[in-house]
Amino acid sequence: MKDLFVELCLTVPVRLSSLLRYLSLLMDPLVSALNGSHTLISQGLRTLELCVDNLQPDFLYEVLGKFGGGNRKMMLEPQKLEYNTCNTPPAILVHFIDHSKPVCLSVDKIIDTAFTALKTSTTDPFYRRHCWEIIRCYLVASLHLNDDAMSFKKLFSHPSFTDPLCKISPMQGIPYKSADKQARATIQTAITGMFVASAIKELRKDVLPYMVFTVTHYTMVAISQQAGPFALAAKQSQPEGMDPLVLIDSLAAIIGHEEKELVKPCHLALVLLEQTCANVLGSLHRACQLPLMEYMAERMCSLCYERAWYSKMGGCYAIKFMFEKLDRCWVFEHLFSFLKALLFVMMDLTGEVSSGAIELAKGHLERMLTLCAAPVEKDGTNDELVNAQKKSLFEVTNELVRQVTSPNSIVREQAMHSLQVLAKIQDRTVTQVMEPHKEILEKYIPPKKHLLQHQPANAQIGIMDGNTFCTTLEPRLFTIGTVS
């Protein structure tokens, strides 16, 4: 009945000029016709075609809106689109006999799929082996090995690598990274996949030689860019190709992985990196002057500030390697950064599921202080080492004294224990260790009433606990007296 009434309204046998004053009344049946059957839609479109030149904008916009709604009826769900950061990801040109043009096969998806299959424990060993073959071939193909052996030996035999008078410039500003972010991410995923494959028992024998070669290659590229005869030229001109820092990023991703079995191949890679630098540059002291080592310390410490507990645990493992294996003077320069990172692990995981990360951080902190606070005998040739130790221990002790009144109970207790460790190693009392930094605590100890009442409960507990610790030392660090 409605369709019949609409059809009658649209077939009024009068001239359009006679309907202009009633055109607004015609719009309702016209819109109804556009929402009706195919016959009514056709008739409505014909009527609209006659009226469009005489329609007011208010009516015209309403009708056009109905057209737009009709066109979008088919779009019931949002389109599934994938955002690509670049137009040309790493690719392989595949040639077929029957085709004149090669097919461009994107490699990034292949490497991502191979990496995912390798780290999934349920993947069949047959497919795991082929995933490793894909990663191996890509890593080998991405290397530039056109230099002959004679040029290679001549470069690394240059005396500027081992000469102590040839200073290695420290890292200034942001280190160079490849501008092709997509290619760099693919290389990083491939190197990370190599480390994952080395932890798989069935693949370990085949993977280890390639892992040693890859780590050594990227390390030597970094050495050639940051030291030796071409170090200055590298600063004046922008480097080209893949940057060797991608190796450090891959190691950070592996050591911060949830699967702790991956720590073993990462530890081996770190040992290879350290030994390669020391062998080429003649000493571990010169090796630790490389910007590569600075970037490694920064990247590994950053793991301690990530949200996941296993990333923090990976950062603890890396810090342990660095303060145990690297040059002592370099360790003294980074001791404060290591301390802050370990204390943050304890603070951030308080009350959270840590799976032993807090205890690991505590153990590594005590071990680090035991090694670094041990007295260094001054023999006239190690003045730099003695001064570096003195400066670093001053900064570390200052921070530990500051944390004695920390609102976090774990950090507070560990700071007190660490001060006792320092006092024992240096054969001094805790009071003597804290005395140079006494002014930090003077506004808290003895506790001021006006200060306490404006603090939250945990901060009040921290101040009172620190007060108890300081006033019970023998000899006393502070004495509580009466004000007359």
Tell me what pLDDT residue 275 has: 97
The answer to whether 272 and 216 are in contact (CB under 8 A) is: yes
pLDDT at 9 over 90: no
Tell me what pLDDT residue 338 has: 98
Instruction: State percent of the chain over pLDDT 70.
Output: 90
Mean pLDDT of 290-300: 96
The answer to whether 178 and 241 are in contact (CB under 8 A) is: yes
Mean pLDDT of 313-332: 97
Residue 91 pairs with which residues in a beta bridge?
106
CA atoms within 13 A on the CB side of 303: 30
Q: Is 246 exposed, middle or buried (0-12, 13-18, 19+ CB in 10 A)?
A: buried
DSSP 327: -
Residue, of 145 and 309, whose pLDDT is higher: 309
Instruction: State percent of the chain over pLDDT 90.
Output: 56
Tell me what pLDDT residue 88 has: 76
pLDDT per residue as tens digits for the range 234-293: 454 566 788 999 999 999 999 999 998 999 999 999 999 999 999 999 999 999 999 999
pLDDT per residue as tens digits for the range 417-467: 999 999 999 999 999 999 999 999 887 777 666 577 788 999 999 999 998
Q: What share of the chain is helix, strand, coil (3-state, %, to 5)?
A: 65, 0, 30
Tell me what pLDDT residue 272 has: 97
Tell me what pLDDT residue 482 has: 45
Q: Where are the domains of the chain?
A: 1-64, 104-282, 329-483
Mean pLDDT of 178-190: 92
Looking at every residue in the chain, the average pLDDT score rounds to 88
- Separation between Cα atoms, residue 363 and residue 181, nearest integer Å: 38
Tell me what pLDDT residue 450 has: 55
pLDDT class of 481 with cuts at 50, 70, 90: low
Tell me what pLDDT residue 98 has: 84
Q: Is 356 exposed, middle or buried (0-12, 13-18, 19+ CB in 10 A)?
A: exposed
Mean pLDDT of 25-32: 78
The answer to whether 338 and 393 are in contact (CB under 8 A) is: no
- Separation between Cα atoms, residue 386 and residue 162, nearest integer Å: 24
Residue, of 472 and 86, whose pLDDT is higher: 472
Residue, of 152 and 210, whose pLDDT is higher: 210
Looking only at the bridges linking them, the beta strands covering 103-106 and 91-94 are antiparallel
- Separation between Cα atoms, residue 7 and residue 1, nearest integer Å: 10
- Separation between Cα atoms, residue 173 and residue 150, nearest integer Å: 35
- Report the run of H or E that residue 106 belongs to, with start and end: strand 103-106
CA distances from 388 to 134, 181, 323, 372, 376 (A): 47, 38, 14, 11, 11
The answer to whether 110 and 193 are in contact (CB under 8 A) is: no
The answer to whether 324 and 298 are in contact (CB under 8 A) is: no
Tell me what pLDDT residue 81 has: 81
Angle between helices 245-255 and 263-281 in degrees, nearest 10: 150
